[in-house]
């Protein structure tokens, strides 16, 4: 056995943790103790152990619920359950199909050690690599540290069926990442179906998702399958989930709990096995605070979260992305590949890119059609990018802001966020209130906040403006 095997122990009882930690203090084992079940899933994602040893009865999150989730995310992770015999049946039920061992309480330390070693040997036999899945680099370009994090998450989530929530501004590649998660999952050969909540009229969302029976409403001339049925056995990607209407949220929650639903106008339940990957550019927590998103649904979706940085936060990737998109555009348009001069490349690297990767992709298409020579000069760039208007560099507040941060750090400031964020929010609030003549409800809307969030912010940032 090469490296030490990692063993994670989950128990709220300090004495048990202590005993096991001592028993397992062996050169070939590396032990980590976790006190609370709710810390386990994030830890598994960061650094998956070779074996998990867990108690079943713990305060807070139920040990059985934890096991079900572990099984979903890491079906091959061997789990050893320490429990009294009376709880065994329910433990087995919750981990059905996964690798499972049982350590009856009270146990003997040698017995515990032998069981852990056996589980390790077992796991090693079938261990799969968890580094970025092969070929992924060619699909999603990213050498910036934040993107490397994303790849690691995709690698770790390969082989799992777990629900994932992807956060990131529009055009940062959320759908791409969802596709990669799907392709590298056990469902990879089954359908990947995407639906954007913001792109379909509200009254059609339910029938899009769940399908409808013939005659369910005017125009429903035949029975129609919804996206859930199309995605059966595969993955359903729900983009802009924050825009999902309240009634649909309730229905979605029920499907996630029961695995079945009714078509619109239907009376026979339809059973499906669908993995959900949701994405949003919004702060779902704030939508929950404002009562615009169901808290229980949020928790269901927010099991594992992947954050995609905006393009301006991974500038080092811009040249490679640009070359990739220029090559793609040339292929699409059956023409020669354009090449950026060094100055043009540097210029692109400095821009703000409010439309993120998609904007860069579109720019490369534009250049492939519009630039006159094979070499692309700064002068060939679209005017709005050339002289800094609309996402350009000069006059961009982000550059001034970067400059401020540089200087503050050089001057020895710490806790920069505490210094900058209140000012930043205050400026936006003041400007929005100016535009609405002081009407707070409308200002909240302009800012993309719920009214409660604005009221809360006013109380802390500008108490003089808070009362109505
Ligand atoms: N890292 C990347 N490498 C290569 N292509 C990328 C990358 N990120 C995004 N793209 C491409 O950029 C375009 C936008 O990406 P995508 O549609 O996944 O973004 P999104 O975040 O889902 O956007 P929206 O929220 O607006 O739907 C797509 O054509 C995608 O293929």
Q: Tell me: the pLDDT tens digits for 158-181? A: 778 889 999 999 899 999 999 999
Q: How far is the CA of 13 from the centre of ligand 1 (A)?
A: 46
Residues with CB under 6 A from ligand 1: 140-142, 168, 170-176, 239, 281, 321, 357-358, 361
Lowest mean pLDDT among 47-56, 90-99, 358-367, 385-394: 385-394
CA–CA distances in Å: residue 436 to residues 316, 400, 440, 461:
40, 27, 8, 19
Query: Ligand 1: distance of its center to the CA of 142 in Å?
Result: 12
pTM recorded for the entire structure = 0.60
Taking CB atoms within 8 Å and a gap of at least 24, the contacts of 21-28 are 22/109, 23/109, 23/110, 23/112, 23/113, 24/112, 24/113, 24/116, 26/113, 28/1, 28/4, 28/117
Please, what is the average pLDDT of the chain?
A: 85
The reported pLDDT for the residue numbered 90 is: 66
415-466 CATH choice from 3.40.50.1220, 3.40.50.720, 3.40.50.620, 1.10.10.60: 1.10.10.60
Q: Which atom of ligand 1 is nearest to the CA of 308?
A: 21
3-class secondary-structure state, position 251: helix
Summarize pLDDT for 208-227 with one digit per residue, the tens. 999 998 888 877 788 888 99
Quickly name the fold that domain 5-125 has. Answer: Rossmann fold (3.40.50)
Name, in order, each residue with C-beta under 8 angstroms of 400's C-beta and a sequence gap of 6 or more: none
Global ipTM: 0.98
Residue 363's pLDDT is what? 93
Q: Which of these CATH numbers, 3.40.50.920, 3.40.50.2300, 3.40.50.300, 3.40.920.10, describes 142-307?
A: 3.40.50.300
Per-residue confidence (pLDDT) for residue 56, from 0 to 100: 82
Q: What CATH number should be reported for the domain whose range is 311-386?
A: 1.10.8.60
Quote the radius of gyration of the chain (alpha carbons, Å).
26
Q: Which of 135, 198, 358, 364 to mutate to test the pocket of ligand 1 (most atoms within 8 A of CB)?
A: 358
**Intrachain domains 5-125 and 142-307 with the same fold:** yes
**Measuring from atom 10 of ligand 1, which residue has the nearest CA?**
173
Domain boundaries defined on the chain: 5-125, 142-307, 311-386, 415-466
Q: What is the pLDDT of residues 177-206, one digit of tens each?
A: 999 999 888 898 899 999 999 888 888 899
Q: Rounded to 10 degrees, what is the CA torsion of 258, 264, 267, 272?
A: -30
Find the 134 Cα to ligand 1 centroid distance in Å.
Answer: 20
Nearest CA to ligand 1 atom 25: 170
């Amino acid at each position: 056995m090469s490296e030490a095997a990692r063993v994670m122990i989950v128990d709220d009882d300090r004495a048990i943790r202590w005993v096991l930690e001592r028993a397992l203090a062996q050169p070939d084992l590396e032990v980590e103790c976790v006190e609370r079940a709710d810390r386990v899933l994030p830890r598994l994602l960061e650094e998956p152990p070779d074996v998990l040893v867990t108690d079943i009865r713990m305060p807070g999150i139920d040990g059985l619920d934890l096991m079900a989730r572990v099984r979903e995310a890491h079906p091959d992770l061997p789990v050893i359950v320490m429990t009294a015999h009376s709880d065994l049946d329910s433990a087995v039920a919750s981990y059905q199909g996964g690798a499972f061992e049982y350590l009856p309480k009270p146990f003997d330390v040698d017995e515990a050690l032998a069981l852990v070693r056996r589980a390790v040997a077992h796991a090693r036999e079938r261990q799969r690599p968890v580094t970025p899945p092969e070929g992924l680099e060619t699909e999603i370009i990213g050498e910036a540290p934040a993107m490397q994090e994303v790849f690691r998450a995709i690698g770790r989530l390969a082989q799992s069926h777990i629900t994932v929530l992807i956060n990131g501004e529009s055009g940062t590649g959320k759908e791409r990442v969802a596709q990669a998660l799907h392709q590298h999952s056990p469902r990879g050969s089954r359908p990947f179906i995407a639906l954007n909540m913001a792109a379909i009229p509200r009254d059609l969302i339910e029938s899009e998702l769940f399908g409808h029976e013939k005659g369910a409403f005017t125009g429903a001339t035949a029975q129609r399958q919804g996206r859930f049925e199309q995605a059966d056995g595969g993955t359903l990607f729900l983009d802009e989930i924050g825009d999902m209407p309240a009634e649909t949220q309730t229905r979605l929650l029920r499907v996630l709990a029961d695995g079945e639903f009714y078509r619109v106008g239907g009376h026979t339940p339809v059973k499906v096995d669908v993995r959900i990957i949701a994405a949003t550019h919004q702060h779902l927590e704030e939508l929950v605070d404002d009562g615009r998103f169901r808290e229980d649904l949020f928790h269901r979706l927010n099991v594992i979260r992947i954050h995609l940085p905006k393009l301006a936060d991974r500038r080092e990737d811009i040249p490679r992305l640009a070359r990739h998109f220029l090559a793609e555009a040339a292929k699409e348009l059956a023409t020669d590949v354009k090449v950026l001069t060094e100055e043009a490349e540097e210029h692109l690297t400095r821009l703000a890119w409010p439309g993120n990767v998609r904007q860069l992709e579109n720019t490369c298409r534009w250049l492939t059609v519009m630039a006159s020579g094979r070499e692309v000069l700064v002068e060939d760039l679209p005017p709005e990018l050339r002289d800094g208007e609309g996402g350009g560099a000069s006059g961009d507040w982000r550059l001034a802001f970067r400059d401020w941060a540089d200087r503050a750090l050089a001057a020895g400031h710490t806790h920069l966020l505490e210094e900058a964020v209140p000012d930043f929010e205050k400026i936006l609030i003041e400007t929005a209130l100016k535009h609405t003549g002081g009407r707070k409800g409308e200002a909240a809307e302009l800012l993309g906040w719920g009214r409660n969030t604005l009221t809360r912010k006013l109380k802390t940032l500008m108490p003089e403006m808070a009362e109505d």
